[in-house]
Amino acid sequence: MYRNTNCKLQAHRGVSTEAPENTMIAFRMAVEQGYDIIEFDPKMTKDNVPILLHDRTLNRTGRVAGVPFGEEKVRIADLNFADLADIDVGEWFDKKYAGVHIPTLSQALDYMKSVGVEAKIDNVVQRFTPEQIDIVFDVVEKHGAENVGLTCSELPLLKKFAERFPKAPLHYDGPADEASLRELASFAKGHKTTVWSRQDNKRTAWCKVPPVDAEISARIKDFGFLLGIWILGDDQEMAEALKFGADIVETTGGIKP
């Protein structure tokens, strides 16, 4: 929770301002610092093992024996899981994190379940094939179930998740218009459901969806949903989010519990 409020804090890719993103050390740091929810980005290897990495390629964060990849793109989708064994994803962030490796979805969910912290899967799964989505859902069922939420901007996929996991958290980040929220409400009963809206800041400027305002906030609340606001970096931005009644705020680590 944020200081003296009921607003929960969600760690974006773990505490990604202090540790390499989407790694177990970033997740452990989030737990140690008291974050309520940990968000992460799954990718699928060529042999359909779900792992955690933000980019589709290894070029930005990957190293082999300290050596970065060249200009040619090294795509996760072209590599089998065994090919990732030697990939270091810590040293790019800071040399003290050399030796940090890519976690699997299973490893991350096992850890979050063991410490009682809610896990949140990013909406990148919408790019997966139907077979790959089923694999992700199978991993969720085996390693997390009710402790794992899914983010979607596409309501049919979120409905599929809701039907398979009747008590799991739901996260919707598509258009917050009346029709979309009514459709969400048609299958969200019994779920803790958060509708996400971006704050207008440098971290979200790339997104063309209108930023949160009083009208959007009121509409979300009128449907009985929680209001999530992303991505915040400091207490001043947090103060603005609280004016709109934010129930959950996503931060890279600049805001502390």
Ordered per-residue pLDDT tens for the chain, 257 residues = 999 999 999 999 999 999 999 999 999 999 999 999 999 999 999 999 999 999 999 999 999 999 999 889 999 999 999 999 999 999 999 999 999 999 999 999 999 999 999 999 999 999 999 999 999 999 999 998 789 999 999 999 999 999 999 999 999 999 999 999 999 999 999 999 999 999 999 999 999 889 999 999 999 999 999 999 999 999 999 999 999 999 999 999 999 99
Whole-number pLDDT of residue 39: 98
Evaluate whether residue 46 is within a structural domain. Answer: yes
The token pair at 184 is 């969400």
How much is the pLDDT for 41?
Answer: 98
pLDDT on residue 237: 96
Give the structural domain span for 126: 8-56+102-251
Which position has the token pair 């699997």?
A: 104
Is residue 74 situated within a structural domain? no
Contact between 153 and 123 (Cβ < 8 Å) = yes
Query: Is the residue at 73 inside a domain?
Result: no
Helix axes 214-222, 178-185, angle to 10 degrees: 30
* Region of 134 on the Ramachandran plot (φ > 0 left; ψ -120 to 50 alpha; else beta): alpha
pLDDT of residue 146: 84
H/E element holding 115?
helix 105-115
* 202 backbone dihedrals φ, ψ, rounded to 5°: -65, -25
CA 201, 203, 207, 209 torsion-angle sign: negative
Query: CA-to-CA distance for 101 and 90, rounded, in angstroms?
Result: 7
State the DSSP string of 233-251. Answer: -SHHHHHHHHHTT-SEEEE
**84 domain-assigned:** no
Rounded Cα distance between 74 and 109, Å, is 26
SS3 6: coil
Pick from 52, 62, 58: nearest CA to 75: 58
CB count within 10 Å of CB 49 equals: 19
Residue 125 to residue 156: CA distance in whole angstroms: 13
pLDDT at residue number 144: 81
Q: Residue 69 domain-assigned? A: no
- Residue 61: inside a domain, yes or no? no
What is the total count of domains within the chain? 1
Residue 93 lies in a domain: no
Query: Domain holding 47: CATH number?
Result: 3.20.20.190
